[in-house]
Amino acid sequence: MIQRKTQLADYWQNFTLASADIEFLHTLLLDAEQPMTQRELALAVIGERCRHEENQLRAELGRGTVYQPKKHFQVGENVLFPAFEFRLGEVVEVRPGQNPEYGQFEVITVDFGPDRRQRSFAAGLAAPHKLNVEMMADLLATGDLASPEKLLATVASPVPATIARQLADQPAFASFENRWLLRDLLADVHVGHLNIAEALIDVRGAPVETTALLKELDLPAEIKRDVLAFSVQSALAADGRFDQVGPGESRRWYLRRLEPPEALEIPLPLRHTASPYDKEALPVELRQMEWELDDEWSDDVKAEPSGPRANIPTTTLLLTYPHLASGTLPLNKHSRPFFPRGYSERTALTLIDGRWGQRFNAWVVHAGRYVAGLRSWFEQHKLPAGALITLERRDNSGDIVVDFRPKRMRREWTRRALVPDPSRLDIELRKAEISCEYDEHIIIGADKPEDLLRLRGLPAFAEASLGDLVYQLFTDLAGLSGVGNVHAKTIYSAVNLVRRCPPGPIFAVLATDPRLQSIGDGSYRLAA
């Protein structure tokens, strides 16, 4: 069987769209008269490339007789030689062969053209020969060839991304998310339609589905419904006023100007820069503590959730200072299964206040690993950093109840971050009214959060090594304890006042800095 190039990984790794491919896709979409997904286009191109190669092979084999030693040939006959990559030659001489071992046979002289020398081959050979056996099989046998679907799943996996990247430069093609349509087939969605859509969303004050917008836009009824939807969606996506925030397969549109700033741009307190560290340096108790803190930027929460966790009815989160200051909740391994994923950077949902029953909008910002829109809720309930937040599913509506664990309000000693001068951070103990359960090692407040934001940009904090920053804060916190002990969680909480960092790198400093000494139970003190 002839080895097809389209069955090989190298062929697809170097794949680019040729003009013939673009013309093929143009005809394909024109005939379909409806949007097609990136995967559908890729399968079609792969199938077309395979068919084209097959037709080329058949045409090549049709140019002459396939050489086998047992066959007889005549002067002037065209012969194909599989051993020479199916090179075509012309028989220019036939003469008797002389070799007592093989009996009677002929020798043909084949001319391969002006740039190649003539060569001689045996013909009419009755003796056994491996080419006579191998050529018995069908050279074009297709029984073992991978289908386009299998090729796409294996060696041709880069094709969809390549198609999307190259079609984006073709003015004849329009796209929305992972689907494509010819621009000539689009309905005419002009600025007037977009203004109507903006007004409708503004009045409702909530995301609106594409189907609801179509009812109000008075577009031509003779155009297919899915083409109308694609036309409106591609126009909305190209207009900076609109944001597609639908969960799952739904497409819901909202106005960027109505979204909170923290949904559109990652707030400064949440901007994370990875800090490499030696994971093996962490003792077991610190590894366990890292897992319990469940920071969204810890290494073990990068993977998407799977298995039973996706169906849990309730979970508890720790509210750290960066999220309190940003009005957000972490999207970590415990909370991620509760929140929907869509096709956009953000996904809108409704949260229900577990205390008062009020509903409010929130936005899942997937790249930033947080849920925005809770600033007012934090302020209403006067929650501190360190508060324990609960999430609960009550039905299949997709709404999520967000709550905290209440307790009778009382004044308690808590840590407070102060900026007494423009370049100095102090942490003191002060009494504050607390009406929720909290983690005593994490709890911390700030009189002026804007001062802490300014500290983040100062060289003393921004350019200091993590080790120096940890030691600096450790000495400050040690003064709050009568015996000079500081818990690892407290250091984690304090560092995140001025630098967003998951616990792993911080704990690695605690475990390796010779100036610090473990005293057990996750606590440390200055070494003698």
- pLDDT tens column, 247-275: 988 999 999 999 999 999 999 999 998 88
Confidence label for 197 from pLDDT (cuts 50, 70 and 90): very high
Are 521 and 489 within one domain?
yes
CA dihedral over 176, 182, 187, 192, signed as positive or negative? positive
95, 242: one domain: no
Whether 14 and 156 map to the same domain: the answer is: yes
pLDDT tens-digit map of 157-182: 999 999 999 999 999 999 999 899 99
What pTM, to 2 d.p., does this model score?
0.79
Task: List phi, psi (to 5°) of 152.
Answer: -65, -35
| Domain identity same for 46 and 150 | yes
Domain count within the chain: 4
Q: Is the dihedral angle over the CA atoms 139, 144, 150, 151 positive or is it negative?
A: negative
Q: What is the pLDDT of residues 388-446, one digit of tens each?
A: 999 999 877 778 999 999 999 899 999 999 998 888 899 999 999 999 999 999 999 99
Instruction: Tell me the C-alpha distance between 125 and 105, whole Å.
Output: 5
> 328 or 136: whose pLDDT is higher?
328
Token pair for residue 278?
């030696």
Region 77-104 average pLDDT: 86
Helix (H, G, I), strand (E, B) or coil at 462: helix
> Quick one: 77 and 202 in the same domain?
no
Residue 463 has pLDDT above 80, yes or no: yes
pLDDT attached to residue 139: 60
Alpha-carbon span 229 to 219, nearest angstrom: 10
Are 123 and 193 in the same domain? Answer: no
Which of the listed residues 258, 275, 309 is the one where a domain comes to its end?
258
Query: What pLDDT, on the 0 to 100 scale, is given for residue 310?
Result: 57
Q: Are residues 422 and 508 both part of a single domain? A: yes
Domain CATH number, residue 122: 2.30.30
Question: Residue 98's pLDDT is what?
Answer: 85
Q: Is residue 388 part of a domain?
A: no
Say yes or no to pLDDT of 136 above 60.
no
515 and 449 part of one domain = yes
> Could you tell me if 479 and 485 are in contact, meaning their C-beta atoms sit under 8 angstroms apart?
no
Tell me, yes or no, whether 510 and 453 share the same domain: yes
Tokens of residue 226, six digits:
């899915």
Asked if the structure places residue 25 within a domain, the reply is yes
Structure confidence at residue 300 (pLDDT): 58
91 and 207: one domain? no
pLDDT band at 116 (very low <50, low <70, confident <90, very high): confident
Mean pLDDT of the chain: 90
Residue at which a domain ends, from 117, 151, 176: 176
List, in sequence order, every beta strand (DSSP E) within 23-86: 36-37, 65-66, 78-81
Terminal Cα distance for the chain, rounded: 78
Return the SS3 of 525.
strand
Q: Provide φ and ψ at 419, rounded to 5°.
A: -120, 85
Q: Is the pLDDT of residue 137 over 50?
A: no
Residue ending a domain, choose from 232, 258, 284: 258
Domain that holds residue 196: 186-258
**Does 122 reside within a domain?**
yes
Q: What is the CATH number of the domain that holds 222?
A: 1.10.10
Residue 14 in any domain: the answer is yes
Model confidence pLDDT, tens digit, residues 143-162: 578 899 999 999 999 999 99
